[in-house]
């Protein structure tokens, strides 16, 4: 793409997540990046994937989505560098069935995408998904895939189930949604695990979210917009923090200011945000090689949580300090 070229916002890349394998992934483009010995490396992939949003679980699996194709989640069966793989039955039961309660059918698909209750009848605007990996909400939520649906005004919670080499997604709240509302301006577009162990939700909170070409005078959407006064609500975006009534949010991080040696302890943190951030900062430090022995201790320590040992191994890989004993 040439500099200065006009590009539709829905066609631009998102993501840029630092994966467990130390590659940086994004949507759309068939490319990934990584820092090796202080240098930015690029690698071409066989194809790009996803559209609006990207997340990764504890095992390093990416979860993309294709809002335009009405696909709530895709690309999670195998690493994207090995190509696209979707398996029959990867969505359990009636996973594709949705349960919105806002009776405002402002969907680009028009009447064919309107259900009996007057809302949308299919995923259509999915974006900003997150595998929750925090430590300050009920343990049952850890590892679940959360996917905002701004057109339907709800957030889907999915259980990630594995059987052999196959991954299946199942609705964690059958017959309903994790979060849903009748507020026509609720437009969840991003979910994020916070360093305090809570879940953060970005609400665009805007009446119109479609691009202007779809909302012109005489269009299906313009009629819905005018009838419900959706064009009157702008500039009211907000961020929610989901907390537990019996738990206090965790402390504010100051990892950037810590010596490299002090970052190692956070490789064992229960919150995935802390593990990821500590690993990334170690890899970016000039004295990164100095902590290799400490990382090896975690990797070899059977008393450490499995995820801490895995993160320590990938930290060693990121600083080019993998030794033969670690691989035997």
- As a whole number, the mean pLDDT across the chain is 90
- Angle separating helix axes 306-318 and 272-284, nearest 10 degrees: 20
| Residue-level pLDDT at 13 | 80
Is residue 221 situated within a structural domain?
Answer: yes
**How many Å from the N-terminal Cα to the C-terminal Cα in the chain?**
45
Q: Are residues 227 and 92 in the same domain?
A: yes
Is residue 19 situated within a structural domain?
Answer: no
The pTM is what?
0.92
Secondary structure of 205-244 as H, E, C letters:
CCCCCCCHHHCCCCCHHHHHHHHHCHHHCCCCCEEEEECC
Q: Are residues 84 and 188 in the same domain?
A: yes
| Residue-level pLDDT at 216 | 85
Average pLDDT over residues 234-240: 92
126 close to 147: Cβ distance less than 8 angstroms? yes
Strands 15-18 and 199-203, by their bridges, are unpaired
C-alpha atoms less than 13 angstroms from C-alpha of 45 in its C-beta half-sphere: 20
Tell me the percentage of the chain whose pLDDT exceeds 70.
Answer: 97
d(CA 301, CA 40): 32
Over residues 82-132, the pLDDT tens digits come to 888 889 999 998 999 999 998 888 887 777 788 788 788 889 889 999 999
Q: Are residues 149 and 59 in the same domain?
A: yes
| Residue-level pLDDT at 119 | 83
Q: Are residues 278 and 135 in the same domain?
A: no
Is residue 32 situated within a structural domain?
Answer: no
Q: Are residues 55 and 146 in the same domain?
A: yes
Over residues 3-56, the pLDDT tens digits come to 445 555 666 788 889 999 999 999 988 999 998 887 899 999 988 888 889 999
Average pLDDT over residues 140-150: 96
Q: What is the residue range of 283's domain?
A: 255-327
Is residue 7 situated within a structural domain?
Answer: no
| Residue-level pLDDT at 277 | 97
298 close to 309: Cβ distance less than 8 angstroms? yes
- Out of 242, 266, 294, a domain closes at 242
Is residue 294 situated within a structural domain?
Answer: yes
| Residue-level pLDDT at 1 | 46
Q: Are residues 284 and 259 in the same domain?
A: yes
Over residues 64-89, the pLDDT tens digits come to 998 878 889 999 999 988 888 889 99
- Out of 198, 216, 242, a domain closes at 242
Q: Are residues 146 and 182 in the same domain?
A: yes
Q: Are residues 57 and 179 in the same domain?
A: yes
| Residue-level pLDDT at 100 | 93
């Amino acid at each position: 793409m040439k500099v200065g070229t006009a590009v539709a916002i829905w066609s631009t890349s998102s993501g840029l997540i630092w994966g467990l394998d130390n590659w940086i992934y994004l949507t759309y483009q068939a490319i990934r990046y990584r820092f090796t010995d202080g240098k930015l490396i690029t690698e071409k992939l066989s194809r790009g994937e996803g559209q609006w949003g990207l997340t990764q679980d504890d095992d390093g699996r990416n979860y993309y989505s294709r809002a335009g194709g009405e696909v709530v989640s895709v690309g999670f069966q195998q690493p994207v560098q090995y190509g696209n793989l979707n398996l029959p039955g990867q969505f359990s039961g009636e996973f594709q069935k949705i349960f919105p309660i806002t009776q405002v059918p402002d969907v680009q698909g028009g009447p064919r995408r309107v259900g009996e209750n007057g809302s949308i009848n299919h995923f259509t605007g999915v974006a900003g998904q997150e595998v929750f990996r925090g430590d300050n909400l009920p343990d049952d939520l850890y590892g679940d895939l959360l996917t905002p649906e701004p057109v339907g005004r709800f957030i889907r919670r999915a259980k990630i189930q594995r059987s052999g080499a196959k991954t299946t997604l199942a609705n964690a709240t059958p017959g309903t949604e994790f979060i849903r509302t009748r507020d026509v301006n609720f437009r969840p577009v991003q979910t994020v695990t916070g360093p305090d162990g809570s879940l953060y939700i970005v609400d665009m909170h805007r009446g119109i979210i479609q691009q202007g070409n779809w909302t012109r005078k005489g269009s299906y959407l313009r009629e819905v917009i005018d009838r419900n006064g959706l064009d009157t609500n702008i500039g009211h975006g907000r961020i929610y923090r989901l907390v537990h009534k019996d738990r206090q949010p965790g402390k504010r991080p100051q990892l950037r200011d810590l010596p490299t040696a002090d970052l190692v302890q956070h490789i064992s943190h229960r919150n995935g945000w802390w593990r990821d951030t500590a690993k990334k900062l170690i890899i970016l430090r000039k004295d990164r090689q100095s902590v290799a022995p400490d990382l090896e201790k975690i990797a070899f320590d059977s008393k450490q949580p499995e995820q801490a040992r895995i993160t320590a191994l990938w930290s060693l890989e990121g600083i080019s300090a993998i030794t033969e004993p670690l691989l035997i």
